[in-house]
Each structure stands twice: as structure tokens, then as C-alpha cells.
Amino acid sequence: MKILVTGGAGFIGSNFIRYWLAKHPDDAIVNLDKLTYAGNLENLKDIVDNNRYTFVKADICDADAVDRAMQGVDTVVHFAAESHVDRSIMDAAPFVMTNVVGTQVLLDAAMRHHVTRFHHVSTDEVFGSLELDAEEKFNETTRYNPRSPYSASKAGSDHLVRAAFYTHGLPITITNTENNYGPYLFPEKFLSLAITNLLEGKKIPMYGDGKYVRDWLYVEDHCRGIDLVLQKGKPGETYCIGGLTQDLNNLEVAQKLLAILGKGEEAIEFVKDRPGHDRRYAVDWSKARRELGYEPLYYFDTYLAKTVQWYKDNEAWWKPIKSGKYLEYYEKQYNLS
């Protein structure tokens, strides 16, 4: 099988490519990525010489480049996106271009080339925000209620992907998943920023009261979930893929990091809150368990410690990222200038 992965130089896409090449020895992957600030070929340097892997530097909004990359492709796994909520608050335009327009460009090419599966990787953020201390979780029937430019653009992409199924019969599947963590998580996201700041002797910037709840999923569980959807998922269907955490707020997550790294609470700094900050996410993944046999395997405490160790062992990966343009973003976001 030949798979076109979009956004494979980012966090989840690069983990997925590594996972797929190891698990499926007969398959070939074409990775199409624009290499934005979040795309980094260092994430894939161990597989660059694999003869089943090809890299194409292109924008998913470029219809000609997408059309060329789609030649002979059986399956598309679409990760490429602008993915960071805070950046979407600063400037929504790239989010609309890549997440909405780019997704339609890919769908049009996939239809022209008669791909046998178009898998769209989406987020639980399209469902909005849950109450704290409630039983309710997001599932496949939850009404869409996106509240940031990022989640609104992802919601738009989900609707376009479903429209291609209902209107044109393109065999699509969608996964909506929660906060992923693990190796190569870009150090603008909370966990990666917190770990690398602590390793640099800096503080964890904690938005608002810190009592915001996220559901954490180890990235390899996510990759296995997508694999199961590709093997057993039904065209037209959506699956929520979740992990093993029980309502943990950001302060509690930060405290776990402080314990792992032997630091005190003074390493937490409360900063201005994110506008429109969603209070709680939680995902019910029982449909994926029932229909695909999906089960997350990686416990948060164990894999959080392993992730911290990965950042300790891979300073050469994240230190160069936290320089230049990144510092401009950091100063603007955290009001340092």
C-alpha cells in the first residue's frame, strides 16, 4: 500500500510515520509537508534513508503539488494543520487557509485519484468545553461547538471531509482525539514547554487559575488508534480516540512534572489566561473499543516520566527550536516585551 501522509514532519505525523514503517513492512509512505515553524525534518532523521519513505516539501493549498503527490496513492492520512490555539488567537488567517482550504484541496485530489481511504485527523476541541467535575464526556454524537479560531477551522475541515463522503462517495474516516504527548511535541504546547522550561531553570507559565482539565493521550496510542481505523473502520464513520487519564487539571500535571524533576511549587508562575479558554476536555472512546478493539496502553504517570527523560536525552533537538523566531513568539505570547 502507498500512503500519503500530510504534515508528517510535525509532532504526531512524524511519530505516525515511524510507527507505520515499523509495523507495516510492505507499505511505502510519501510525506508531504510545507515545513512551517512546526515542521522539522530532524523529527525523521532516523528514517530519512528508508527506501520506503519519500519526502515532498509542499503546501497542501498548492493544488498542482498535491495532485502530483497523490499519483498512485491508496490511502491519505491527513495531519497537516496549524495546530496551536494561542497562535490562532494572534492570527487566524493561516488556520483558515491550511485547515479549511488545504483540506478541500486534498479532498478534491483524493476524489480525482480515487483513493480508497481518506483519513482525517481531528480534535476533541471541535466539541467545545465541558463543565468541571461533571460526568459528561465528548463522543461521536456530541454537537459541534468550537470556541477558538483553531477549533473552528478544524470543525470546518471535519464538515468538508464528511461532505465529500455524503456528496461524492469518497471513502473517508475521521478521528477526534485529545491532547497528545510524547517525543517531538513542539515546545509551545503546555507539556513540552513546561518540561523544557524546567530543564532550562525557567518557570512553567500557568494560564489563569490552572484548573483547566485536559485528557492526555500518549502519541503511540493515537498512532495505533489510526492504524485500527484504517484496518477496521467503516467509511463515513468518526471515532473518538482517547487515553487513560481521569480528570487531571494543569496544576496537577505541573505538580507531577515538579516531582519528576525534583523542583518546588515556586517553579510555577501564574500568567494571564488564554481568551475563551475551554475549561475541560474528556473523551469517551467506547465506540472505538467496541467496533475496532482499540484500547490505550500507556499510563500517564509512566509515560510522562519517559517523556521527561526523552527531553533530557534530546536537548540537541529542542534547544535549537527555542531560539530565533520562537523567542519572538514566546515574548509576545507571555507579554515579556
Mind telling me the catalytic residues?
124-125, 150
SS3 220: helix
**84 touches ligand DAU (CB under 6 A):** yes
If you count DSSP H runs as helices and E runs as strands, how many of each does the chain have, helices first?
Answer: 13, 13
In the chain, the amino acid numbered 333 is Q
Residue 117's H or E segment, with its range, is: strand 117-123
Q: Which is nearer to ligand NAD, 35 or 267 (CB)?
A: 35
Contact stretch for ligand DAU (CB under 6 A) within 33-41, 127-135, 201-209, 321-329: 201-209
Find the binder of ligand DAU among 79, 190, 218, 285 (CB under 6 A): 190
**83 touches ligand DAU (CB under 6 A):** yes
103-109-112-114 Cα dihedral, nearest 10 degrees: -80
User: By rule CB under 6 A, what count of residues binds ligand NAD?
Assistant: 30
Which of 235, 133, 193 lies closest to 11, judged by CA? 193
Q: How far is CA 14 from each of CA 109, 142, 223, 259, 299, rounded to the nearest angstrom?
A: 23, 29, 10, 29, 21
Cα dihedral sign for 270, 274, 276, 282?
A: negative
Taking CB under 6 A as the rule, which mask of x and - marks residues 28-47 in contact with ligand DAU? Answer: --------------------
In contact, 80 and 34? CB cutoff 8 Å: yes
Taking CB under 6 A as the rule, which mask of x and - marks residues 3-32 in contact with ligand NAD? Answer: ---xx-xxxxx-------------------
In contact, 110 and 169? CB cutoff 8 Å: no
Contacts of 69 (CB under 8 A, 6+ apart): 4, 30, 32, 56, 58
Q: Which is nearer to ligand DAU, 21 or 248 (CB)?
A: 248
Q: Which is nearer to ligand NAD, 59 or 278 (CB)?
A: 59
Find the binder of ligand NAD among 18, 34, 119, 224 (CB under 6 A): 34
**205 touches ligand DAU (CB under 6 A):** yes
Contact stretch for ligand DAU (CB under 6 A) within 24-32, 79-87, 105-113, 159-167: 79-87
Taking CB under 6 A as the rule, which mask of x and - marks residues 289-328 in contact with ligand DAU? Answer: ----------------------------------------
Taking CB under 6 A as the rule, which mask of x and - marks residues 207-246 in contact with ligand DAU? Answer: x----x-x--------------------------------
Q: What are phi and psi of 119, to 5 degrees?
A: -100, 125
How many Å apart are CA 118 and CA 232, to the nearest integer? 14
Taking CB under 6 A as the rule, which mask of x and - marks residues 125-164 in contact with ligand DAU? Answer: x---------------------------------------
Grid cell for residue 233: 473502520
**78 touches ligand DAU (CB under 6 A):** no
DSSP 179: E
Which of 300, 208, 291, 211 lies closest to 260, judged by CA? 300
Per CB under 6 A, residues contacting ligand NAD are 6-7, 9-13, 33-36, 38-39, 59-61, 79-83, 98, 102, 121, 123, 154, 177, 179-180, 186
Per CB under 6 A, residues contacting ligand DAU are 83-85, 123-125, 178-179, 189-190, 193, 205-207, 212, 214, 250, 274, 281
